[in-house]
Structure 1
Amino acid sequence: MKKSLIICLLLVSVVAYAQNSQNLKLWYNQPSGTTWENALPIGNGFLGSMVYGNVPNETLQLNENTVWSGGPNRNDNPKALEALPEIRKLIWEGNHKEAEKLANEAIISKKSHGQMFQPVGNLELSFAGHQNYQNYYRELDIEKAISKTTYEVDGVTYTRETFASFGDRVIMMRISASKPSNVSFSAHYSSLHTRKNASVIGNNLVLKGKTSDHEVVESVLNFEAITRIKLEGGKLSKTDTSLTVQNATAATIFIAMATNFNAYNDVSGDASKRANSCLNQAFQKSFALQKSKHIAGYQKYFNRVKINLGETSEMNKPTDERLRNFNSVNDPQMVSLYYQYGRYLLISSSQPGGQAANLQGIWNNRIKPPWDSKYTININAEMNYWPAEKTNLSELHQPFLQMVKELSITGQKTAKDMYGARGWMAHHNTDIWRATGAIDGAFWGMWTAGGGWVSQHLWEHYLYTGDKSFLTEIYPILKGAALFYVDFLVEHPKNHWLVVNPGNSPENAPAAHDGSSLDAGVTMDNQIVFDVFSKAINAAQILKKDASFVDSLKTLRERLPPMHIGQHNQLQEWLDDIDDPKDQHRHISHLYGLYPSNQISAYRTPELFEASKNSLIYRGDVSTGWSMGWKVNWWAKLQNGNHAYKLIQNQLTPIGNERGSGGTYNNLFDAHPPFQIDGNFGCTSGITEMLMQSSDGAVHLLPALPDVWPSGKISGLKAIGGFEIVEMVWENAKLVKLVVKSHLGGNLRLRTPNELKQSTSIKLNEANGNNPNPFYSLDETAKPLISEKASIKSPSLAVTKLYDIATQKGQTITFLIKN
């Protein structure tokens, strides 16, 4: 039966090798109504809007990336340092609950638990007489980053095109009619802020406001939004709070927004001056010119990667219908659309010079959003940027990297005052003011690895770009992250390893600890410290500096605990073998070593590889949205494409499904629930990992191809060391075309599912030993300690070919494939 199904899928899946732009649209036959998660997101990294597409009463819900509550503040707990020895003693003695109680008093902040990302407000448009409409259609064209709504009233077709311009820092909507003098509407602002004022000044509709005070932090953040309308025919009139357009042929709405925010420690800007400057600059240009500049500015990023996993007739249906059907039909193009939608969201919410994408990217309609819509750095904020380098959006990593640089400054005082340590650190959460204290209670917040994890993104950017000047710039940050652990690690009294105490495995607690999450030497902490030390060592050696520091880090690294394989054949989450195989917690943090780290490998650490798979099986598939996104990456790293695809199916399930957890909203936003954007980004990363991986010493092609994608094509992916997959085509799960560009030169080690051919221009060498390319240098993982009760099998892996090819900087290589 299974074999027949595969044959059927092969027959119905038609691969068109040119990416069809008509398919890169989310489209619907009905308006959003009052449901925010039905609206369509647009953004340019600085401004964001949700376009509802409602007919008589349209709403543009507006966001600006620096509109946050509060102001510059610190949230360290001054009692921490004095209480630290007692907390450690309680954990050594097994009194985890008492340690947690003391940490709640002495470690967790008594000030702000993080400020909130807040909306600006709504631009409300009213169209009198448009209640009875027909032939309705709305779309989000993610190839052009333009939302469009069309409908018909009394024989007149109305069109609204909306985009957040990548040319000028404005949001624009052009409203047109198929017959002259038929565009009439009124516009006004609404806002949930208590301190705001909407008025008409000249011909501008202006909303001024101040964000919320929050958790003893007084707001110092002012915002201003300005709307101006350019008419083609017709007449503009106004009241004290609204603008009205009458009998125009077309009208273009310009929206500018700004705040007084300059930096996390500087709010001396002028919101009004900024907003007016952006508006005046944009208003001088025609809509056609603005649209052209916008598309070009956006496609500079988006067009770098093209993907086609096959096409069926399902792609001709509305997006919400495709979402409902996805688990019961073959719709590979839906995966291509969802993949590119993740890239669209990152381009739209993260631009150089702007703020990093937060828990909701740049889109939020609530004064008090879930989890404050801030930066949760025990997984979610990092996951947002997993696609950045490998899906050819390296520049878009910059806002996150800038946030890490700023945390490395604010986190120095936290390290010193709370833990008596040098260097810098952050706990599990931060915000636009770069707070680094511990929040939310010790169960969640007593985690010291936030700085260590985010600092890995700096190293990743170097690995992909080879930018040595960047490495020189950020080396002190890598060194500072390591210095914190040099001072913070303590010797385990029983086995004498150096461990983090107190630490925890984020948001999970073993029953053996009476429901407390606090422990010493948990697996994830050990893995992160290993990475922090290793990256500081590697960076110092590349830059030829700090030799004695390097030696000391190597000595300390050797004293870190090895990973443990427990009695259930699982990778242990804690040092003690107390994992419960029935535990299906959404956080599986001890698999950090499998992904995003590379400490666990099919080829280098087979026992740990198998134990990781067992842990993942125990935890199950059903989970919250971001967790399913992480699981796609894990199953891809485990080279199990069918299981990874199963998680994609779980992800692309309508929210409110019978599973009762996770899924996707109609606008393809990830549902935690509620909405968190990390699941979108995590799944885009996971699909990439299914098609190409480069973290384990080689560029591995088609490592986790599911049966439902037997043929396909992708271009533009980036690998470590500056290699670009210019074009990769496969049929029947085998490569049929491969073109690779080497941007940096050096050895290209390729792992392929089928054999390549020698040619006069390309010398293929059978690869063995370590990859001589320094970007592919791997830090040796210690042998695991394996329980006497465990019985670990050897991994069952597909047969692959492994080649070394010498490349020159700028060289493009077209490989020949053996039939």
Structure 2
Amino acid sequence: MFNKKIIRSVFISLSVLQAVSVFGADKQDRDQVASASINENKSTNSLWYKQAAQGFDQSLVLGNGRLGAMVFGDADEERIVLNEESVWSGSVAENNISGGYKNLAEIRRLLGEEKFSEAKKLMGQSFKAKNAPKYAKSISAFGRYQVLGNLHLKFLAKKNQVSKYRRELDLSSALASVKYQVGKTKYTREHFVSKVDEVFVSRFSGPVSFSIQLDRPERFKTTAVNERELLMTGSLNDGFGKDGLTYAARLRVVAPGASIKVDGNKLIVESKDEVLLLVAAATDYRGIAGRQLVDPLAATTSDLDKAEKKSFVNLRKAQKADHEKFYNRVSLDLDKTKISDLATDERLAAYRKGTADPSLAALFANMGRYLLISSSRPGGLPANLQGIWAEELHTMWNGDYHFNINTQMNYWPALTCNLVEMQEPMNNFIASLVEPGSKTAKAYYDSPGWIAHRLTNVWGYTAPAGMDIGGPAWLCEHLWEQYAFTKDKKFLAEVYPIMKGSVDFYLHNLWEEPENKWLVTGPSASPENGFLLPGKKKGGSGICAGPTIDMQQLRELFGNTIRAAKVLGIDKDLQGELLEKRARLAPNQIAPDGVLQEWLKPYIEREPTHRHCSPLYGLYPYYEITPDGTPKMAEAARKLLERRGMGQSTGWSNAWRINLWARMNDAQKSWDFVKRMIMDNCFDNMLSLFRPLKNGKGKKLFQIEANFGFTSGFVEMLMQSQPDSGAIDAEPVIRVLPALPKEWPNGKVTGLLARGGFEVDIEWKDGKLVECKISSLNGNPCKVRYGSKTQIVKLKAGKVKKLSASDF
């Protein structure tokens, strides 16, 4: 699909580059010797329950980035949901309808004259797309992410006298276990997904007797290949009534001495000793340039053949070491209380009744780190709206990728939590949008560069689907920020062409609004809020020119591209143009009521408490609005945040507000939203609830970005490293405990990554800093701030500086 010649230099080499740690051999050595006990505190690193899961929201989730599993743990009839990251319906299709650019000048004139209804009508004629996403249960070429299938285990000996039941997920080693007793016989089940061996592994202690089946809701055929192997195959709907992507899930029983029989499309196993199940899965997806075509049948056979040669002990040893290498880089710990040792669902229930449990917030934050490691690995696809976990065919919002916050939020903790490698799938995915986005830019804007609108799929959709057009600038932020944290010039050189391509599009499409002669975008929108039309009390518009978020994103993109070009010593003419155009972008404005303005003019918000905080992009994730650098604008941002309120909002919105209030250095407001998320947006299995249930009732909707946003917010409360302003030459400042709430009087975090190439450990007691340890990875100087005092720290690479409260 994608033209390899166009993006080979920015895409293929990204995979090679990220195959090793961005910090080189020293970093690899540290990973290899990381202590397995660094995250041994079960209250912050373990989920456990006294009963089997009654639904996906109580299941134990496992993953290796590509393969996922959801373990329910029933003693009699176990169901394990299986996932594979590329199980997508739909197909590569032509989405663009050329010629929309012919009306752009007129649309912009109408926007400049505030004739929004007329502009919107003309846009409806000009920005149509083929094969656009559909969210009902209909099928289109856009497609959707789907469940791979279900593994059913029916135990023939009924276990209705089960006692001492315990179901547990160890986040630190990525092991799900189920233990129980029947009479005097003890049973143990252990499950994990190995990235090293690319298989899902289950071990059952003996004696056991059970049947095994594989199925999915539609489009599958399961056959018993032999007495040890089941094979499930099928093709998904391509959106045009034909077979599209093909998949295979292959299960193999490893149980020497066991009796195994074939019964139609299932196996029946009886063994006095332990039984090992190995599951491999693959598809023939190759929607991203550079991705090799895979034969699912051959690939699953090969994976199982290799894995079967290893003992369970060796499979587990390799998987555990691989997971701990990443998870143990960071530890997040807060105080335990009397309820911290309760089962996780009981802890949540007690917390919601008002019992203090600081370590529960640390557990939720660690869950985000765990989920990122489990759903985004080098060489794979980025985490989608559900990570990689889905039990249905019709996933919420197609399980796709939204660029007006959701996809980006998935990667907010990647850098601060020292998981740089986990951002590689995101980087590659961004690179994959360049070629189709270039066609979309030409078709609708007659423009150079590339554009992707609000959302996309794994098939390269970049055509209009929502007109907030700042998404690519936001995506490019992730590329620059990886450099800002690591100072890896080779990486920067690889991604610079992507940033430059995005800049080319925006430079071509900026236009001068008539009143102030500012340069603005448009047609665009402020996700996903709207405003009342001038002089009207009802109705309104979302379509506009120069929304505040676009202007902030372009100031960031232009500034980052200037900095990147300076670092690389290239494009001096472009640097000059960007500097000139950046100064002419519509500025942040304060409305007459003192609130940060969302649009070019102080229009009345259609929904003042809207879940999106779009004009606050400049506060977080960008940093052009800061309490220290722009106090008046920060106060206007505060007022807008207060207007947005504490309403019953979506999980990702509450997560964003943790980060926003942390950037305001407001510990208690940040903690209010931490509490709100645990109260309203957290399932029993610590996955994020999209909307709060009313009186415990309602549809249980899952979107994963709130998990990641919570983790990044947790870290932002304890450590930040952004500059004091968005000035092009501004240097980062490491802020220690900038938003520490009184509810977290004691704690310790280690291994956090800060801009400039530093690892940071922080310990505090009674709300005061005990010690901050700064480890330099690249030998750059840095500023460290605690309270109102700042220290200059100069270290050689590999050296450490310890600071206490008395040093400030």
**TM-score normalized by the length of structure 2:** 0.89
- The answer as to whether partners of 2:529 and 2:606 remain within 8 angstroms in 1 is no
Partner of 1:457: 478
Cα shift readout 1:157-182 (whole Å, capped 9, x = no counterpart): 211111111321000110113xxxx2
Residue type of the alignment partner of 1:664: C
Does structure 1 residue 124 correspond to structure 2 residue 152? yes
One of 684, 689, 711 as aligned partner of 2:716: 689
* Residues 1:110 and 1:71: Cα distance change in structure 2 (over 3 Å): closer
Separation of aligned partners in 2, 1:335 and 1:718? 20
Partner of 1:675: 702
- The answer as to whether partners of 1:74 and 1:436 remain within 8 angstroms in 2 is no
Partner of 2:675: 649
What RMSD, in angstroms, separates the aligned Cα atoms of the two structures?
1.7
Partner of 2:319: 294
- The answer as to whether partners of 1:411 and 1:425 remain within 8 angstroms in 2 is yes
One of 691, 700, 704 as aligned partner of 2:735: 700
Separation of aligned partners in 2, 1:298 and 1:138? 20
Partner of 1:776: none
Partner of 1:135: 164
Q: Where in structure 2 are there 5+ consecutive unaligned residues?
A: 1-36, 134-141, 692-700, 724-731
* Residues 1:563 and 1:374: Cα distance change in structure 2 (over 3 Å): same
* Residues 1:816 and 1:323: Cα distance change in structure 2 (over 3 Å): closer
Residue type of the alignment partner of 1:694: S
Residue type of the alignment partner of 1:750: V
Partner of 1:176: 205
SS of the aligned residue for 1:575 comes to coil
Separation of aligned partners in 2, 1:247 and 1:166? 28
Partner of 2:8: none
SS of the aligned residue for 1:257 comes to strand
Separation of aligned partners in 1, 2:102 and 2:319? 56
Shift of 1:463: 0.7
Partner of 1:728: 762
SS of the aligned residue for 2:469 comes to coil
Does structure 1 residue 37 correspond to structure 2 residue 25? no
Shift of 1:264: 2.4
One of 103, 111, 115 as aligned partner of 1:91: 111
- The answer as to whether partners of 1:339 and 1:687 remain within 8 angstroms in 2 is yes
Shift of 1:810: 1.6
Residue type of the alignment partner of 1:715: T
SS of the aligned residue for 1:357 comes to coil
Q: How does 1:526-675 map to 2 (within 5 A)?
A: 526-580=551-605, 583-622=608-647, 623-654=649-680, 663-673=681-691, 674-675=701-702
- The answer as to whether partners of 2:468 and 2:524 remain within 8 angstroms in 1 is yes
Shift of 1:76: 1.9
Shift of 1:473: 1.1
* Residues 1:563 and 1:402: Cα distance change in structure 2 (over 3 Å): same
SS of the aligned residue for 1:210 comes to strand
Shift of 1:817: 4.4
Separation of aligned partners in 1, 2:322 and 2:179? 25
Shift of 1:234: 2.5
Partner of 1:410: 436
- The answer as to whether partners of 2:386 and 2:703 remain within 8 angstroms in 1 is yes
SS of the aligned residue for 2:264 comes to coil
Shift of 1:531: 1.1
Partner of 2:544: 519
Residue type of the alignment partner of 1:734: K
Cα shift readout 1:43-62 (whole Å, capped 9, x = no counterpart): 00010011111221111111
- The answer as to whether partners of 1:232 and 1:250 remain within 8 angstroms in 2 is no
Shift of 1:698: 0.5
- The answer as to whether partners of 2:540 and 2:606 remain within 8 angstroms in 1 is no
Separation of aligned partners in 1, 2:592 and 2:745? 38
Q: How does 1:272-287 map to 2 (within 5 A)?
A: 272-287=297-312
SS of the aligned residue for 1:313 comes to coil
Partner of 2:174: 145
Cα shift readout 1:304-353 (whole Å, capped 9, x = no counterpart): 11122111111111111211222411101111111111000000000000
Shift of 1:299: 0.2
Partner of 1:75: 95
Partner of 1:356: 382
Residue type of the alignment partner of 1:222: T
SS of the aligned residue for 1:618 comes to helix
Q: How does 1:428-467 map to 2 (within 5 A)?
A: 428-439=454-465, 445-467=466-488
- The answer as to whether partners of 2:287 and 2:460 remain within 8 angstroms in 1 is no
- The answer as to whether partners of 2:381 and 2:425 remain within 8 angstroms in 1 is yes
One of 147, 164, 185 as aligned partner of 2:210: 185
Residue type of the alignment partner of 1:235: S
- The answer as to whether partners of 2:62 and 2:68 remain within 8 angstroms in 1 is yes
- The answer as to whether partners of 2:530 and 2:607 remain within 8 angstroms in 1 is no
Residue type of the alignment partner of 1:82: K
* Residues 1:53 and 1:640: Cα distance change in structure 2 (over 3 Å): same
Partner of 2:12: none
One of 779, 782, 788 as aligned partner of 1:745: 779
SS of the aligned residue for 2:105 comes to helix
Partner of 1:229: 253
**TM-score normalized by the length of structure 1:** 0.88
- Between 1:527-536 and 1:380-389, the stretch displaced more is 527-536
Separation of aligned partners in 1, 2:604 and 2:292? 48
Q: Where in structure 1 are there 5+ consecutive unaligned residues?
A: 1-16, 440-444, 655-662, 754-799
* Residues 1:740 and 1:233: Cα distance change in structure 2 (over 3 Å): same
- The answer as to whether partners of 1:77 and 1:108 remain within 8 angstroms in 2 is yes
Q: How does 1:163-562 map to 2 (within 5 A)?
A: 163-177=192-206, 182-193=207-218, 195-202=219-226, 203-214=228-239, 216=240, 219-264=243-288, 268-327=293-352, 328-439=354-465, 445-512=466-533, 514-562=539-587
Shift of 1:566: 0.7
Q: How many residues align?
A: 736
Separation of aligned partners in 2, 1:515 and 1:817? 53
Partner of 1:808: 796
Shift of 1:682: 0.1
Separation of aligned partners in 2, 1:108 and 1:529? 25
SS of the aligned residue for 1:716 comes to strand
Separation of aligned partners in 1, 2:350 and 2:163? 26
- The answer as to whether partners of 1:572 and 1:579 remain within 8 angstroms in 2 is no
Cα shift readout 1:781-818 (whole Å, capped 9, x = no counterpart): xxxxxxxxxxxxxxxxxxx2111122212212223542
Partner of 2:28: none
Shift of 1:735: 1.4
Separation of aligned partners in 1, 2:243 and 2:416? 38
Shift of 1:134: 2.5
Separation of aligned partners in 1, 2:512 and 2:158? 73
- The answer as to whether partners of 1:237 and 1:244 remain within 8 angstroms in 2 is yes
Does structure 1 residue 115 correspond to structure 2 residue 143? yes
Q: How does 1:790-809 map to 2 (within 5 A)?
A: 800-809=788-797
Shift of 1:671: 1.0
Shift of 1:232: 4.9
Separation of aligned partners in 2, 1:71 and 1:107? 22
Shift of 1:27: 0.8
Separation of aligned partners in 2, 1:734 and 1:418? 56
Partner of 2:122: 102
Separation of aligned partners in 1, 2:511 and 2:38? 57
* Residues 1:612 and 1:816: Cα distance change in structure 2 (over 3 Å): closer
Cα shift readout 1:662-692 (whole Å, capped 9, x = no counterpart): x111111111131000000000000100000
